[in-house]
């Protein structure tokens, strides 16, 4: 009971989550990979010697250089170059930043929307709950890629062509976010139904606390665990959805390519022998999504006491 | 002759930070035809001993030393052999008859399956045997009931079926782990009678695990008292109950109370009573009698379909305006049954207690607020340091104290206590009850005390109302009710209440 004297760091070190993390090689490896990827993508200007989007750095002389370890490879382009002589590694890291920004923003958008609707639906019940839950049912019958394509199509109709390239990233965030909210709504509604019948909620009601404060101060922190777990796995899905959309050509424009755009661009060269242009972005995407999923699985196992052995 | 012999048994759980001893050097012997009561609070290791006998200890627990000898067999020597004895030589009865039967199989199918696993009998023979068993445990129309599903039986009947399942392979040892805890008082005594009868008729050795001294007094021949994994005392029931040697056993006797059962919401019909200022009014009844519903209506969590509740001559059920309602919210507070669900685990204790204070007095300064919180913590006998901790760092009894501090924060005049002690261990119950009594005197509180536990209510209340199926049977002064009950149901309740006194008669 002398926990009070411990610093925050000592408290973290003492927690079960830290302990489970230290003892799980999967968690350590996947989070290390993710840390490196996140760090390199967000501080990409510091990490890479080239800025692939600075026209002055383009050199057609260097175009289609294969990876450095092959016969014709150059040491300065570790993963080779693309059709415009841009360094693949730098391009991938820049692309990864776009993918991560879109993925994170989309998931935060759908978290806010889904948790907000799910929490209020579970708490108030009645007709409002029924409408929200039927909406999620409808939404879940439409494949999320189709939903995103639909949103993108509508956006193209509404926004002028010049504007569209600028707006593309926001449209994408909205399109992915809107297709992922139902699962957050479902999970948070179910958790709210459990929490709202607990005595601490009754206690607050009896004290006279208003519904809004009960929902956000008392219930929300108690339902966050399951929501964050599916949020992590949702992040991987959102990044993949972004790549799929970009691959299909409805995502971010080639001037600011994401991983999906890079895979699409490289796809054209696949059969003429320049395999690295599409292979490296693809393998990078796989590693990224796989690491997030592994970390998400570990989180689910750790945070769910029922699965504890 | 000794049938089961437990020698120096220790069970420990290797945890990350420490090793927890669930049982430590326990020595118990049970003879045939004898019921041994194993009592203790929750966490005292009584179920662990039961599970060790059948080798059903959950990971990461393990038997670290000692042996269990059944007849002339050492059970832990060969872990394969125990599979043969479980259900065959050893029968088991679990606490909750709702979950110990498979709901998708008929009772008959489950009996036949169990019989055929252990005995080489044809289906026809097995059926006859099961019908006889059902008759033996007192199920009427056994032939037709044989094809019924578990949900078609009532709780007590289902527990009888569970007993018949435990008996179907002619066991010599019966382990009953809290067999009556999930049942109502009236059914409890029938099941205990049945176990007593079967023990004599079949010459069984029985281990009855319970935390209820009343149950022990009525059934057990000998009793073993456990505390924190240690065997405190073992001996003749009469001797232990009348002349306990150990201090712990003494305190256990003094505070003996019966267990909680779940409250289900049921309509309350035409109930009228009044509570005077400064009085403690007790409301008793079995589970489902509507006690909790009344509590929730008084604190305005539900609205009654018809009828009114007056507080200070104002009808509180018809208040529409929020500001008006807040005035009453401030004056009527509630303490809940389960201290684990009544505190928000994500808030620090000081934030939990501060919430009602700042809500009703938004302009209070931080200094005054902190002082007030410390005063409240002190009045429920918790240290100031507790304020910065989270609820999970406290035990059940301490959590209930926090809950009381929160309820007192608005300086209420009426405190509704809904089974405030039934989720707590026996030795803690008394402390919480004393605290409530002290606070009532200091603050001139009016208390509505809801419980199914007659001894508790007798200790706490000035007047008592008895509820059955949502109707109020009788309201009278506490001593009058216990000495000269007028209503039939009250008499029945008092008669069925397991009594330590029964040992003296």
| pLDDT tens digit sequence for B104-146 | 889 889 888 888 888 888 888 889 989 988 888 888 888 888 8
* Cβ pair A16:B333 closer than 8 A: no
- Pairwise CA distance, residues B58 & B51, whole Å: 9
For residue A51 the two structure tokens come to: 């800025």
Q: Which residue of B has its CA nearest to A200?
A: B342
Counting Cβ atoms within 10 Å, is residue B366 exposed (0-12), middle (13-18) or buried (19+)?
A: exposed
How far is A3 from chain B, CA to nearest CA, in Å?
8
Specify the DSSP class assigned to residue B386: G
Helix (H) or strand (E) holding B165: helix B155-167
Query: Is residue A122's pLDDT more than 90?
Result: yes
Q: Which residues of B touch A1 (CB under 8 A)?
A: 389, 393
Query: Is residue A152's pLDDT more than 70?
Result: yes
Mean pLDDT: which of A28-32, B75-79, B301-305 is highest? A28-32
* Cβ pair A203:B342 closer than 8 A: yes
Q: Using CA of residue A232, residue A192, residue B421, residue B350, what is the dihedral sign?
A: positive
Q: What is the predicted pLDDT for the residue at A128? A: 94
Query: Is residue B473's pLDDT more than 50?
Result: yes
B2-14: strand order across its sheet: B19-31, B2-14, B61-70, B73-74
CB atoms closer than 10 angstroms to residue B76: 17
ipTM score assigned to the predicted complex: 0.72
* Cβ pair B301:A202 closer than 8 A: yes
How far is A108 from chain B, CA to nearest CA, in Å?
22
* Cβ pair B16:A19 closer than 8 A: yes
Nearest to A200 among B16, B344, B385 (CB): B344
**In chain B, which among 313-332 make CB contacts under 8 A with chain A?**
325-326, 329-330, 332
**Residue A228 sits at the chain B interface (C-beta within 8 Å):** no
**Residue A198 sits at the chain B interface (C-beta within 8 Å):** yes
Query: Is residue A192's pLDDT more than 90?
Result: yes
Band of residue B87 on the pLDDT scale cut at 50, 70, 90: low
Q: What is the predicted pLDDT for the residue at A100? A: 93
For residue A228 the two structure tokens come to: 């964050």
User: Mean pLDDT over residues B79-98, rounded?
Assistant: 74
Nearest to A207 among B16, B347, B356 (CB): B356
**Residue range B188-206, pLDDT digits in tens:** 888 888 888 889 888 889 9
Mean pLDDT: which of A7-21, A33-47, B172-186, B249-263 is highest? A33-47
CB atoms closer than 10 angstroms to residue B456: 23
Q: What is the predicted pLDDT for the residue at B250? A: 57
Q: What is the predicted pLDDT for the residue at A2? A: 43
**Residue range A34-56, pLDDT digits in tens:** 999 999 888 888 877 777 777 77
- Using CA atoms of A247, A250, A256, A259 in order, give the dihedral in degrees to the nearest 10: -20
Q: Which residues of B touch A221 (CB under 8 A)?
A: 344, 346
Beta pairing partners, B236: B222
**Residue A206 sits at the chain B interface (C-beta within 8 Å):** yes
Query: Is residue B480's pLDDT more than 50?
Result: yes
**In chain B, which among 10-29 make CB contacts under 8 A with chain A?**
16
Q: What is the predicted pLDDT for the residue at A105? A: 95
Q: Is residue A7 classed as helix, strand or coil in its secondary structure?
A: coil
Q: What is the predicted pLDDT for the residue at A131? A: 95
**Residue B299 sits at the chain A interface (C-beta within 8 Å):** yes
Q: What is the predicted pLDDT for the residue at A305? A: 55
User: Mean pLDDT over residues A16-29, rounded?
Assistant: 86
Give the residue with greater pLDDT, B363 vs A302. Answer: B363
Band of residue A14 on the pLDDT scale cut at 50, 70, 90: confident
Query: DSSP 3-state helix, strand, coil percentages of chain B (rounded to 5)?
Result: 40, 20, 35
Average predicted confidence (pLDDT) for chain B:
81
* Cβ pair B360:A208 closer than 8 A: yes
**Residue range B381-410, pLDDT digits in tens:** 888 888 888 888 888 888 999 999 999 998
Q: What is the predicted pLDDT for the residue at B262? A: 28
Q: What is the predicted pLDDT for the residue at B501? A: 54
B471-477: strand order across its sheet: B332-335, B414-418, B446-451, B280-284, B463-468, B471-477
User: Mean pLDDT over residues B181-186, rounded?
Assistant: 72
Q: Where are the alpha helices (DSSP H) in chain A?
A: 8-14, 16-22, 25-42, 44-47, 88-124, 126-141, 144-158, 161-196, 199-207, 211-213, 220-247, 259-267, 276-303
Q: What is the predicted pLDDT for the residue at B24? A: 85
**Residue range A202-258, pLDDT digits in tens:** 889 888 888 999 999 999 999 988 898 889 989 999 999 999 988 888 878 877 888
Largest Cα–Cα separation, chain A: 77
Q: What is the predicted pLDDT for the residue at B121? A: 85
**Residue A199 sits at the chain B interface (C-beta within 8 Å):** yes
* Cβ pair A208:B329 closer than 8 A: yes
Band of residue B1 on the pLDDT scale cut at 50, 70, 90: low
* Cβ pair B356:A205 closer than 8 A: no
Q: What is the predicted pLDDT for the residue at A134? A: 94
Q: What is the predicted pLDDT for the residue at B261? A: 29
Query: Is residue A80's pLDDT more than 60?
Result: yes
Residue with tokens 């009645």: A126
* Cβ pair B326:A208 closer than 8 A: yes
Q: What is the predicted pLDDT for the residue at A309? A: 42
**Residue B348 sits at the chain A interface (C-beta within 8 Å):** no
Band of residue B354 on the pLDDT scale cut at 50, 70, 90: very high
Q: What is the predicted pLDDT for the residue at A99? A: 92
Q: How many CB pairs under 8 A join A and B?
A: 68
User: Mean pLDDT over residues A281-297, rounded?
Assistant: 92
Average predicted confidence (pLDDT) for chain A:
85
Mean pLDDT: which of A5-9, B19-23, B433-437, B492-496 is highest? B433-437
Q: What is the predicted pLDDT for the residue at B265? A: 30
**Residue A204 sits at the chain B interface (C-beta within 8 Å):** yes
**Residue B338 sits at the chain A interface (C-beta within 8 Å):** yes
Give the residue with greater pLDDT, B56 vs A189. Answer: A189
| pLDDT-above-90 percentage for chain B | 9
Q: What is the predicted pLDDT for the residue at B499? A: 61
């Amino acid at each position: 009971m002398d926990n009070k004297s411990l610093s925050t760091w000592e408290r973290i070190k003492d927690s079960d989550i830290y302990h489970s993390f230290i003892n799980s090689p999967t968690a350590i490896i996947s989070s290390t990979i993710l840390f490196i990827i996140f760090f390199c993508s967000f501080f990409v200007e510091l990490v890479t010697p080239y800025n692939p989007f600075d026209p002055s750095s383009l050199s057609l002389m260097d175009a289609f250089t294969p990876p450095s370890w092959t016969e014709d490879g150059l040491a300065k382009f570790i993963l080779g170059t693309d059709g415009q002589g841009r360094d693949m590694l730098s391009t991938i890291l820049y692309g990864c930043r776009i993918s991560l920004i879109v993925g994170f923003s989309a998931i935060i958008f759908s978290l806010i929307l889904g948790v907000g609707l799910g929490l209020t639906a579970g708490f108030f019940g009645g007709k409002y709950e029924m409408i929200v839950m039927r909406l999620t049912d409808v939404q879940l019958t439409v494949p999320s890629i189709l939903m995103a394509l639909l949103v993108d199509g509508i956006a193209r109709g509404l926004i002028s062509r010049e504007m569209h390239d600028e707006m593309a990233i926001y449209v994408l965030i909205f399109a992915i976010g809107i297709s992922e909210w139902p699962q957050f709504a479902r999970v948070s509604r179910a958790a709210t139904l459990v929490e709202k019948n607990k005595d601490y909620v009754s206690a607050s009601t009896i004290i006279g606390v208003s519904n809004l404060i009960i929902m956000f101060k008392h219930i929300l922190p108690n339902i966050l665990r399951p929501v964050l777990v599916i949020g992590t796995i949702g992040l991987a899905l959102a990044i993949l959805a972004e790549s799929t959309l970009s691959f299909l050509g409805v995502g971010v424009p080639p001037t600011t390519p994401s991983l999906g755009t890079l895979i699409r661009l490289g796809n054209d060269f696949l059969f003429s022998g320049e395999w690295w242009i599409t292979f490296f972005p693809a393998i990078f995407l796989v590693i990224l999504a796989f690491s997030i999923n592994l970390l998400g699985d570990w989180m689910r196992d750790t945070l769910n006491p029922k699965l504890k052995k | 002759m000794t049938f089961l012999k437990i020698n120096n048994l220790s069970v420990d759980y290797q945890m990350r930070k420490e090793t927890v001893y669930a049982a430590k050097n326990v020595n118990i012997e049970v003879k045939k035809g004898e019921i041994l009561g194993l009592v203790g609070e929750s966490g005292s290791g009584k179920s662990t001993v039961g599970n060790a006998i059948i080798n059903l200890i959950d990971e990461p627990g393990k038997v670290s030393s000692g042996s269990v000898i059944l007849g002339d067999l050492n059970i832990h020597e060969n872990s394969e052999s125990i599979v043969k004895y479980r259900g065959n030589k050893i029968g088991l009865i679990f606490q909750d008859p709702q979950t110990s039967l498979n709901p998708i199989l008929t009772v008959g199918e489950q009996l036949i399956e169990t019989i055929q696993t252990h005995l080489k009998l044809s289906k026809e023979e097995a059926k006859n045997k099961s019908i006889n068993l059902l008759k033996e445990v007192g199920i009427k129309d056994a032939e037709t009931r044989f094809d019924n599903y578990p949900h078609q039986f009532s709780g007590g009947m289902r527990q009888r079926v569970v007993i018949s399942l435990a008996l179907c392979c002619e066991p010599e040892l019966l382990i009953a782990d809290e067999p009556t805890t999930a049942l109502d008082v009236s059914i409890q005594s029938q099941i205990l009678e049945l176990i007593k009868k079967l023990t004599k008729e079949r010459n069984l050795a029985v281990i009855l695990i319970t935390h209820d001294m009343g149950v022990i007094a009525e059934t057990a021949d000998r009793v073993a008292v456990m505390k924190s994994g240690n065997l405190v005392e073992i001996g003749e029931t009469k001797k232990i109950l009348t002349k306990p040697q150990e201090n712990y056993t003494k305190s256990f006797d003094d505070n003996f109370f019966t267990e909680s059962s779940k409250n289900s919401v049921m309509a309350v019909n035409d109930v009228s009573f009044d509570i005077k200022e400064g009085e403690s009014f007790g409301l008793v009844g079995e589970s489902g009698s509507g006690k909790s519903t009344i509590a929730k209506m008084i604190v305005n969590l539900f609205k009654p379909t018809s009828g009114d509740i007056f507080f200070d001559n104002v009808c509180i059920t018809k208040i529409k305006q929020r500001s008006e309602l807040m005035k009453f919210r401030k004056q009527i507070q509630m303490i809940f049954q389960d201290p684990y669900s009544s505190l928000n685990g994500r808030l620090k204790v000081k934030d939990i207690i501060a919430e009602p204070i700042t809500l009703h007095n938004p302009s209070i300064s931080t200094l005054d607020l902190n002082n007030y919180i410390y005063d409240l913590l002190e009045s429920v006998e918790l240290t100031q340091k507790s304020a910065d901790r989270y609820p999970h760092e406290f035990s059940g009894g301490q959590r209930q104290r926090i809950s009381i501090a929160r309820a007192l924060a608005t300086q209420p005049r009426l405190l509704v206590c809904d089974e405030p002690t039934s989720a707590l261990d026996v030795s803690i119950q008394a402390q919480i009850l004393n605290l409530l009594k002290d606070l009532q005197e200091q603050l001139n509180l009016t208390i509505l005390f809801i419980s199914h536990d007659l001894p508790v209510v007798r200790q706490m209340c000035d007047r008592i109302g008895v509820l059955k199926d949502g109707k109020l049977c009788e309201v009278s002064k506490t001593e009058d009710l216990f000495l000269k009950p007028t209503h039939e149901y009250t008499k029945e309740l008092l008669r069925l209440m397991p009594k330590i006194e029964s040992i003296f008669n």
